[in-house]
Structure 1
């Protein structure tokens, strides 16, 4: 039996009567894939939203005019409709005549996160700047809020395993569409029947993963690392022939920037990534303060674009291949050796950009539920499962703030749990203001999680705060607890501070300098081995600064290679 047809997603537009024909005409280019509905009053907008909500029709975009008959403010109507349809993207539409008068209020409301952007209603044909913004929001909505129409990878899971959550997280971070199937689906039964274990009379070992993306292979008892090795960048073993110019360990913003600039400038460049391309930044639902993206960009999209750039210039990227150790050059002019479980690479220069990892909460009952309602990081792949559930976010940094705002689109409530007295000490001001303006979010300061549990999925948490302990229902827990450097795999000769962050340049203790001179900027205590991004002692822990450090490393590598050539 085929699945019932899903209703087409809608674009709900509410403007003044004289603007409705113009707006409807502009949005007709989306009519093949979306139902375009334009109404001329607040009352009609509420009725249309209620109808769509009742019918289970997804709404991708709310476009509301600065002025709409039946209400004193279009922004008030936009907020009202968004409470009914929280996953829809929000655009305020204004006319050129009203633009000057509306701009101060629009800017103030935008800064407080009350809507996503404002746009001038086009007055002529082919206003592609207008449609660029619209398609960006539709793309974002289509990736995060709807079931993918294109199926890149099929996952079959009849046991609700934590590994399935990790596989989906990897695929989401890589921008690969996928769908989760029950073993009872007709498409699943055909795949399962072909498994050697089933043909031998045994039950299938879940999760089962299959896709043309992985060459038609069928993985039984699949792991995220197996999928990572097969899906992107590493269908073949790590190339161990010859000596490469630059090996980059880690593919966060620093590693990707170095890959783009290194490969574009002629360096034979290899990137090793233990998980998904993008690193911790790749899990961010929306980065709003990165230069050049006024409407913001998700960490996945930023990493995806950088990945395409790097591979276009010839960089080779291996996912699911963690570096296990570095063997420093035995003598000047000799290569460094980077060891992985898939082979060893000899490199004239190495950039360590493995970043940081979130600290563990250390509560055994919650650790057992990781991937089953408990997640380290933003885990955007899990947000759709949070619909209608009470969710808790632990942490006071920007990543926690971004996760809370994003989860508020789905969850019945979002509670930020932070030990400090306020968020302003550790979070950017724009996020503090946006959190304050997002009704489903509450902040509990001076509070920590002390216990939690559930049978097969997280069901409850116990919080300890100024007024004592309290047990609360919980459908999701997202832990963003601060950062520990991923540096324990480095050799002792690479100097680190007491927390494990890597010293570079003038940060290196003077007793480790050579001939009274510090290493080059971003160079570690091993000549030709560099560190950039969050792993580096003294770094700013921001996407932009990490990207800058990664790019700057390439000039240092060129200088190092010139020295080797001279020798």
Structure 2
């Protein structure tokens, strides 16, 4: 088998083959054998620890270069080859993965096939390489080349420092894990780029594309199309439409597509939902060291696409219609997607804060949930967080790595009533974080951006104005289901009612058209199901949302099979 031609644009570096082994002798031998066969067309990079290898991968990603193959030794101190490959997947998800093992470690290799979607495992020693190493690498390079993954070209974004649209754009790009470099127009490099592009600060934000062209204050849809995200359905009719790309929606998309249903997922902003904005989820099954919401969402998205689910972003649903056996999802642009069945997994949104002036500074010092995106900007600052649930606690722990101080403002007497025990303990042991119980924000002040907030003690009534440039809000959840009005039954808070909760004294819901009771997650319209946080009385946890997404698909099957 011939060595495939590497995939790179003019002037770009050669794709890399990276090998990591803590034994210097073995590390040099692997690199030597690889360089002898592939050194002309590929960069051969070797590392002697998982940590240094991950550092090298991050540098390669920042340069916009590619990695074709990863070879990692299983037995390494501090970070095994399996742990390295699992983290490397999040940096280069399309790189082919090989585990180097001794004969006694073949069970680990089998485990790796499930955990990191391993492509191959090699038993050491591999001499002669012409028989045991090169044929394997040739096959993997052929497969990598055939995937035709486009190289990441550098995109530059020039933005205003306190412009709300600039903040929204950065949040959109970060949540969709799209590569870019960020420049502020009032700093020398940003001003130089803006002038070179032939524009001024009246056109901000400006996206300088890899080919030199510019997008002036683009919409999210224009950004999505530029970066190659799907924004238009490929078909007119599906077996299943999933509305919402949070944990429940992604779970439904994975199970629907894997079970052979023609599945499309429609998401307004980015896959992951509120969970995707979490800096660290430490109580999700299977991740003992925790996982960021963005990593979890990205893996689920790749998994859904692997099984053939179609993912549509930057499309907002405006209405739902029933047309005989078809169910139609109406989008705000006037188009529609029809299907046999629908799963509503729209989750919830953070409630807007009612205090005077708060929303005047949205994106200009006041942020709803955007802790991960804005964290670096908080370096050395006094930061305030409003909220007492897990999302607020996770944000506080993450921001404490950069901020001078983090203050959690909570109306309740303590955090224990609404936050997981493990997070409460972490916060109590973090010297950067303090908690102000029985306190609320009553006003926000500033000239063009947030500079101060007013705090009120709910017991004494005393007020205090404090200096801060950053206020993060995590204040409860609203389902935002007004678009379902008149179609499916909702409770007084707007959450979708499903299953046995629809029946009163054995009576079926008004308009129920089939001769059976509603399935467990089925709404008041047959064939329309609800999963995750949007459903009334749901558990409001990531794991339960994923489970409900999978269960909803299980219930779709008997609905589709009925005459």
Length-normalised TM-score, structure 2: 0.71
Give deviations 1:32-57, integer Å, cap 9, x for gaps: 8869xxxxxxxxxxxxxxxxxxxxxx
Q: Is residue 250 of structure 2 the alignment partner of residue 263 of structure 1? A: no
Q: Which residue of 2 aligns with 1:325?
A: 319
Q: Which residue of 2 aligns with 1:226?
A: 222
Map residues 448-527 of structure 1 onto 2, 5 A cutoff: 448-465=440-457, 466-467=459-460, 468-510=462-504, 511-513=507-509, 514=512, 518-527=517-526
SS in 2 for 1:325: strand
RMSD: 3.1
Map residues 382-461 of structure 1 onto 2, 5 A cutoff: 382-461=374-453
Structure 2: distance between partners of 1:319 and 1:230: 13
Q: Is residue 170 of structure 2 the alignment partner of residue 178 of structure 1? A: no
SS in 2 for 1:489: helix
Map residues 528-547 of structure 1 onto 2, 5 A cutoff: 528-547=527-546
SS in 2 for 1:328: strand
Cα 1:491/1:221, change in 2 over 3 Å: same
Q: How much does 1:450 deviate? A: 0.4
SS in 1 for 2:361: coil
From 301, 305, 310, the counterpart of 2:304: 310
From 230, 241, 260, the counterpart of 1:247: 241
Give deviations 1:450-489, integer Å, cap 9, x for gaps: 0112113211111001341011111211100001112111
Q: How much does 1:126 deviate? A: 4.2
Cα 1:30/1:293, change in 2 over 3 Å: closer
Q: Which residue of 2 aligns with 1:381?
A: 373
Structure 1: distance between partners of 2:263 and 2:287: 28
SS in 2 for 1:365: coil
Structure 2: distance between partners of 1:124 and 1:233: 35
Structure 2: distance between partners of 1:352 and 1:255: 8
Give deviations 1:177-210, integer Å, cap 9, x for gaps: 3221244666875675556xx4xxx765100123
SS in 2 for 1:459: strand
Cα 1:506/1:153, change in 2 over 3 Å: farther
Q: Which consecutive unaligned segments of at least 5 residues does structure 1 have?
A: 1-24, 36-57, 59-122, 143-149
Q: Which residue of 2 aligns with 1:164?
A: 166
CA contact (8 A) 1:208 1:221 kept: yes
Structure 2: distance between partners of 1:313 and 1:275: 22
CA contact (8 A) 1:229 1:319 kept: no
Q: How much does 1:223 deviate? A: 3.5
Structure 1: distance between partners of 2:241 and 2:195: 40
Give deviations 1:75-130, integer Å, cap 9, x for gaps: xxxxxxxxxxxxxxxxxxxxxxxxxxxxxxxxxxxxxxxxxxxxxxxx99545953
Q: Which residue of 2 aligns with 1:206?
A: 204
Cα 1:512/1:321, change in 2 over 3 Å: same
CA contact (8 A) 1:415 1:443 kept: yes
Q: Which residue of 1 aligns with 2:108?
A: none
Structure 2: distance between partners of 1:288 and 1:343: 40
Cα 1:135/1:310, change in 2 over 3 Å: closer
Length-normalised TM-score, structure 1: 0.71
Q: How much does 1:491 deviate? A: 3.5
CA contact (8 A) 2:242 2:249 kept: yes
Map residues 28-67 of structure 1 onto 2, 5 A cutoff: none
Q: Which consecutive unaligned segments of at least 5 residues does structure 2 have?
A: 1-45, 60-72, 93-151
SS in 2 for 1:399: helix
CA contact (8 A) 1:243 1:335 kept: no
Structure 1: distance between partners of 2:329 and 2:90: 41
CA contact (8 A) 2:455 2:463 kept: yes
SS in 1 for 2:367: strand
Structure 2: distance between partners of 1:296 and 1:562: 40
